[in-house]
Amino acid sequence: MVRSPVGKVTPAPAAPSPLPARVILPGAVLGVMGGGQLGAMFAMAAKRMGYRVEVISDSEDCPSAHHADRVHVGAYDDTRKLEQIAQALDVLTFEFENVPVDAARAMQEVVPVRPDPLVLFTTQDRAREKAFLVEHGFGCAPHRVVRSQDELHAAVAALGLPAVLKTAAFGYDGKGQRKIEHSSAVDAAWEALGPEACVLEGWVDFDCEISVVAARGLDGATAVFEPSRNAHRHHILDVSSAPAGLPQAVCDTARDMASRILANLGVVGVACVEFFVTRDGRVLVNEIAPRPHNSGHLTIAACETSQFEQQVRAVCGLPLGSTQQLAPAAMANLLGDCWANGEPDWAAALAVPGVSLMLYGKSDPRPGRKMGHLTALAPTVEEAIANATKARGLARRDVDR
Ligand code: AMP
């Protein structure tokens, strides 16, 4: 196994990269497809480093609009308009994976697109992503691709129950998923999610879920962050913390797999690999996001280089930064539910030691909508988790003071 200590950048492989090596320096114009909070935090990192940022979004009132130099509002598949926008950019990246691949390919005729649209193609479809994992020998949940009710019954017979049926495309935060506990529920699951292609996964009785954010540069060098341990509520990430509190061998395996997945996909940029850690210590890939990830937000406060600065460095062909973590950290998501008792009490939250606040500038706090996050740094990860969740409870006004 290739082990790289956290913080160190693994040098580029010896073979010369076929990619053009032009470094995109501060002052240049970076384009981002998508106007959400990931684009906003990318823009903050890029602006701080002296770049101009132009965002392409389907909505004018998007989090990135508060931070970018320019927002182009339009459809993500309006190829003609996108090609025009691309003329003014030095590089294009994206902050969500469901960018139409054809549009990304069209823009690639005009401007470097990083990661390559092929990475989007592989990761925006669970069936293709699983085929990639199997082909390259990365462990994942047992699964079958199903395209009809009969195929679903055959897959259930092969994998057993419980299992989880997932639409192959456009799933996130548990959307487009159905857990099937009994054979009597198979047809209802197909009615809910078919007839689009789906993937049936055997249920993984995991000990915990972790994720690894990693970056890969234009020269093939990689830099891998510490794994985060992730706790979900109602299928949405609730709290991420690092260090993950797992045996070193498990962390090393996850980091090594993430690094090799980025290399095998040919990513230039940042990606996150989510894993299940089984009770017997196996590390199985759940899914890959070819962009910075919610579980990596704690890198902003806790690491020498944040995942967003790392994305800027990678797509610009700059050297990757150190991923060294400076203190144990925990991040608690702030969903729209936190506004249920009125405007949250930010002063109370920020009185908790080591806590910082990031709000995404969204105006409508709908339940389940990611509005921001709190990060706590502390001497131990247990204290960081306790302080992040305490701060959130205080903000939500739902705990005794
Ligand atoms: P996903 O959208 O695929 O990341 O799934 C959302 C969440 O559902 C995961 O973070 C897990 O908590 C749970 N989950 C998904 N697939 C499985 C599986 N095969 N076995 C057990 N839990 C799963």
Residue nearest to atom 6 of ligand 1 (CA): 174
Residue 14 has a pLDDT of 53
Residue 232 lies in a domain: no
Three state DSSP letters for 87-98: HCCCEEEECCCC
Q: Could you tell me which of 22, 41, 24 has the C-alpha nearest to residue 32?
A: 41
Residue 247, burial from CB neighbour count under 10 angstroms (0-12, 13-18, 19+): exposed
* Residue 174 in contact with ligand 1 by CB distance below 6 A: yes
Residue 3 has a pLDDT of 43
Both 28 and 97 in one domain: the answer is: yes
Question: Which of 124, 133, 164 for a ligand 1 pocket mutation test, highest count of atoms within 8 Å of Cβ?
Answer: 164
Q: Is 208 helix (H, G, I), strand (E, B) or coil?
A: strand
Tell me how many domains the chain contains: 3
Last residue of a domain, one of 92, 111, 130: 111
Residue 80 lies in a domain: yes
What kind and span of H or E run contains 151? helix 149-159
CATH at 192: 3.30.1490.20
Residue 284 has a pLDDT of 98
Residue 13 has a pLDDT of 58
Q: Could you tell me which of 392, 347, 320, 314 has the C-alpha nearest to residue 114?
A: 314
Residue 89 lies in a domain: yes
Both 27 and 90 in one domain: the answer is: yes
Distance (angstroms) between ligand 1 centre and the Cα of 287 equals 9
Both 49 and 106 in one domain: the answer is: yes
Residue nearest to atom 10 of ligand 1 (CA): 235
Give the C-alpha separation, 353 to 367, whole Å.
Answer: 28
* Residue 201 in contact with ligand 1 by CB distance below 6 A: yes
* Residue 55 in contact with ligand 1 by CB distance below 6 A: no
Residue 255 lies in a domain: no
Residue 169 lies in a domain: yes
Residue 36 lies in a domain: yes
Max intra-chain CA distance, the chain: 61
Distance (angstroms) between ligand 1 centre and the Cα of 321 equals 31
Both 162 and 87 in one domain: the answer is: no
Domain residues for 377?
329-395
Distance (angstroms) between ligand 1 centre and the Cα of 51 equals 37
Distance (angstroms) between ligand 1 centre and the Cα of 289 equals 14
Helix residue spans in 222-268 (DSSP H) = 248-265
Residue 215 has a pLDDT of 98
Question: Which of 237, 279, 286, 294 for a ligand 1 pocket mutation test, highest count of atoms within 8 Å of Cβ?
Answer: 286
Residue 98 lies in a domain: yes
Both 95 and 35 in one domain: the answer is: yes
Q: What is the pLDDT along the chain (401 residues), one digit of tens a residue?
A: 334 566 777 766 554 444 455 899 999 999 999 999 999 999 999 999 999 999 999 999 999 999 999 999 999 999 999 999 999 999 999 999 999 999 999 999 999 999 999 999 999 999 999 999 999 999 999 999 999 999 999 999 999 999 999 999 976 666 789 999 999 999 999 999 989 899 999 999 999 999 999 999 999 999 999 999 999 999 999 999 999 999 999 999 999 999 999 999 999 999 999 999 999 999 999 999 999 999 999 999 999 999 999 999 999 999 999 999 999 999 999 999 999 989 999 999 999 999 999 999 999 999 999 999 999 999 999 999 999 999 999 999 975 54
For residue 330, what are the β-bridge partners?
241, 376
Both 100 and 156 in one domain: the answer is: no
* Residue 286 in contact with ligand 1 by CB distance below 6 A: yes
For residue 92, what are the β-bridge partners?
31, 113
Residue nearest to atom 19 of ligand 1 (CA): 203
For residue 26, what are the β-bridge partners?
none
Distance (angstroms) between ligand 1 centre and the Cα of 139 equals 15
Residue 12 has a pLDDT of 62
* Residue 232 in contact with ligand 1 by CB distance below 6 A: yes
* Residue 164 in contact with ligand 1 by CB distance below 6 A: yes
* Residue 141 in contact with ligand 1 by CB distance below 6 A: yes
Residue nearest to atom 9 of ligand 1 (CA): 235
Both 169 and 100 in one domain: the answer is: no
Residue 173 has a pLDDT of 67
CATH at 51: 3.40.50.20
* Residue 278 in contact with ligand 1 by CB distance below 6 A: no
Both 30 and 93 in one domain: the answer is: yes
Last residue of a domain, one of 91, 111, 131: 111
Residue 173 lies in a domain: yes
Last residue of a domain, one of 202, 236, 254: 202
Distances (CA, A) of 303 to 215, 270, 297: 14, 15, 10
Both 45 and 88 in one domain: the answer is: yes
Ligand 1 atom nearest to 205, measured from its CA: 21
Residue 174 has a pLDDT of 67
